[in-house]
Structure 1
Amino acid sequence: MKKITIIGGSGTVGDILFERLQNNYDVLVLDKNIKNNTSTHRYVDATDFKQLASEMPKDTDVIINLLRIDTAHAIEPEEVFDQMTDVFFKATYYIMLIATKYKIPKVIFASSNHVTDYYEENGHSKLEREITTKDYPYPKGLYGVLKIASEQAGFIFSLHSDLSIINIRIGSVPEKNEEDALKHDDRLTRTLLSREDLVEFFSAAIEAKVKFGTYYGVSNNNNKPWDISNAIEDLGYAPKRIHAETHPTYDNTL
């Protein structure tokens, strides 16, 4: 059974992945918000290189990097910039350094659709076609800039080491019930990554034989703004939620 270490796994996405991935994998969550260590959840400050290195199991097969902090503005003040850089770039670099040191084969990085959000408005592509990972990144804020930087740092590691890097530019994953969220958020009908497809996407990434790749993580929604064809071809991603607007019997069981 493969061993998966999720870093920053105490949020919505981390909770979903932990709950479902443990059916097929040995999963450990490392996060700064964990107060009481257990066999499956341990405290770690990923911005502390020595602490992260000491807590990272050396027999990990795949690291999933879900690190995040809340950010509200396109241009942030100095103290927020420093915090964001520590979490979104420095810690990401630390994770890949440690993976290389311990010969951990793969890192899956939770990037964001915000790396190209200049091309998107209210869940609609402004390019008159779906946005692809080949389109030049144009973010509208610091958050997207740091995600791009981390994606490119991953490319360097894939180029100069044996490390496999998969970047997933995640769409929208609601914290609460999807059906209720879809009723109140028009954009979400196009940008949703359903819980079922979230698990399917990361499971496909865990098993894929890809040295380096960047993909949009979104369900196969009607009028979605992002292209998922390379994820289907490279990773074997098979979205379960297909055109929900024309399939009202979609079963949201997660």
Structure 2
Amino acid sequence: MAAMQVLGIYGGQDANGLTATVVRTILGAVQAPATSTFIDLNDYDLHPETPNRPNPDLDKLAAQLQAADIWVFGAPTYYTTIPGQLKQFFDVMRHRWTRMTKAGDSLPNGVFADKHYVSVTSCFAPTWDNIFTGQTDLTLRAIDGAMTLAGVHKITELVCPNTWRQRTPTERKLARARQIGAELSHYQRKDDETLKRYVLLFFMIAVMALATMGIQQLFSALTATFWLRYASFVVIFFVLLAIILHVMTFMRHKRA
């Protein structure tokens, strides 16, 4: 089995800043025989390519992406979303990892189907502010959206809030970065999580149905007739589903 290769991809204004430092810390914790490489997107010409205007830098980036098993994206949160460097990278690389259908849908083209990724971001917002307002969410969603289109699997994410006037990341974040790097060294690829999703969906529905029936038992009037029992079950089940989906959306990204 070939040694794991980890590629750090930094898309921001300062390749020596906090976010880049965290990415480099992750890469530095990668253990042999696994290897790691850091690239700064500012060093590449990210203009779109056309038949009359090829872009050798995109060929170079595509080759680096293909050679690596895991990509670690570093993107500071600017104006609540990803920096222009990373957005441009996603835009100009889109046709290399997606295909278009006649209906206009973008689907993975399969070239990077066996790849995995980690997201790293930072923001000035204090920890509790970011927890409740989710200022880093759009950054993480932008990365997730691009990687979903590419068919790439997510491993984890690392968020560094409260970076106003920080010169270096906190020791707690650096320790977490080192832990991630060590784990990536021996990461077991997960190429298909469809079964896992169906299992989780089954248990979620089972628990919700049980909770709904329990609530109905507390109020005997809700089960007086068949149609009343049916209607109350649908309403209660829907309310529980809405609450669970809201909680899952809120907790989807790490903010602290």
TM-score bin, normalised by smaller chain: 0.3 to 0.5
**Larger-Rg structure:** 2
Provide TM-score, normalisation by structure 2: 0.46
Larger helix share, 1 or 2: 2
> Does 1 or 2 have the higher relative contact order (CA < 8 Å, sep 6+)?
2
